[in-house]
Structure 1
Amino acid sequence: MKINESNRISQVQKYQQANRFTDQDKCTSSSTYNKQDAVSISAEALEKAREVSQSESVDHAERLTAVKKQIQDGTYQVETNAVVQKILEAYGE
């Protein structure tokens, strides 16, 4: 079998051309990876978040104090239905 010299050159050119397109695709796609998203939160939203956080911590502290007092007085009662529900949720049943 005789291999035509011009055939080999054309095959090499096709290979080089295919690689050139692949390299161009890599360049254009890599530029999209360099983009970054940014989020900004307004001062009003930050203030509302602080207010909610503070009110939740106050409510939690009041509830904790009340439960401690009930335990000390011996009047604290466990809510069995709530405990059972949490156990079932934890084990996925």
Structure 2
Amino acid sequence: MKINDSNRISQVQKYQQANRVADNDKNTYASTYSKQDGVSISSEALEKARELSQTDSAEHAERLAEVKRQVQEGTYHVETNAVVRKMLEAYGEN
């Protein structure tokens, strides 16, 4: 009976070495190419986004408060046809 089989140990070492090389390649690739990406947004676009979010957020907050109130009172009604329609649209059936 052999306790230490040197052939198996060398196979494990080869596997570990291959993983180290692959990890180094990934790190090199990531450091080389990720630094080149970038996005710039104009000040006009930022201002427009702020305006839209402020007007939408006020209307959204009102609608959300109304739905919460209806749910708490037990008067909220789910329109099943609307839900089904949206599900079909989402899956491209309509």
TM normalised by structure 2 equals 0.48
- The TM-score normalised by the length of structure 1 is 0.48
Q: Find the structure with the greater CA-based Rg.
A: 1
